[in-house]
Amino acid sequence: MNIRLFPGGKRGHISSDWLDTYHSFSFGHFYDPELMGFGALRVVNDDTIAAGQGFGQHPHSDMEIITIPLSGAVEHQDNTGAHGITRAGSVQVMSAGRHIAHSEKNTSATEPLSLFQIWIEPKSYGIDPCYAEKSFDPKARENAWQLLVSNDGREGSLSIHQDALISFGRFKANNSFSYTPQKPGNILFLMIVEGAATLAEQALERRDAIGLSDGTIANGTMMKDGEIMVIEIPE
């Protein structure tokens, strides 16, 4: 079993008057040559955005960008004419393709917005940019894996241009869980969103993550009630 630990306390941390963010991998002003990504996974940012604030219009190309609000709502606008508001319990995907320029803003004038933003390298380059968002029933992830993102929209998930999947599961303390890679050769990045767990014989707390390679099945036990995010990506 090939295991790599990504302790939550060792993530890059950048704070300003409107943004408090933790980077699992090198991003922006945070650079660590040992943290340049994990397989096709390039970015896992854990952002808290102040009320009424956000990222002004800026460009991207050739990247699959997934935004998962944990609390609050984010407003998206881009130069293709797409516009949407994605709330906690929903997921937003944007295929930057050959070029897109977008803005993301906290819709609340009083409350902060908390979200994950995930970047995955696409399978093909120069595709048409596109945007989509969808609401998911949180009850479907109780003691089970709820598929949010995939390469083909299976099980009602949002689709991206890569053989990658993102799932969330919510498990009670002392419950065991298991995740098997859906595509041969894919690797796994698992983060404890909330709670604590023992996973691959490693004790993990809130926002700790672990990478598993070699087609390893992820087996674990929750030590505290909580939630886990699994990102399955090509190596």
Pairing of strands 83-87, 113-120: unpaired
pLDDT given for residue 185 in this prediction: 93
pLDDT given for residue 38 in this prediction: 98
pLDDT in tens, 38-92: 999 999 999 999 999 999 999 999 999 999 999 999 999 999 999 999 999 999 9
- E-strand stretches of the chain: 2-6, 12-15, 19-23, 41-49, 54-60, 64-71, 73-78, 83-87, 90-95, 100-106, 113-120, 130-135, 145-150, 158-159, 165-171, 176-179, 186-199, 202-204, 209-213, 218-234
Same fold for the domain at 12-136 and the one at 139-234? yes
Q: Report the C-alpha dihedral over residues 211, 70, 111, 109, rounded to 10 degrees.
A: 110
Q: Can you give the pTM of this predicted structure?
A: 0.97
pLDDT given for residue 116 in this prediction: 98
Distance CA 32, CA 166 (A): 25
Going from N- to C-terminal start, the domains of the chain cover: 12-136, 139-234
Please tell us whether the domain made up of 12-136 is placed in CATH 2.60.120.10.
yes
Q: Would you state the CATH architecture of domain 139-234?
A: Sandwich (2.60)
Q: Which of the residues in the chain have pLDDT under 70? A: 1
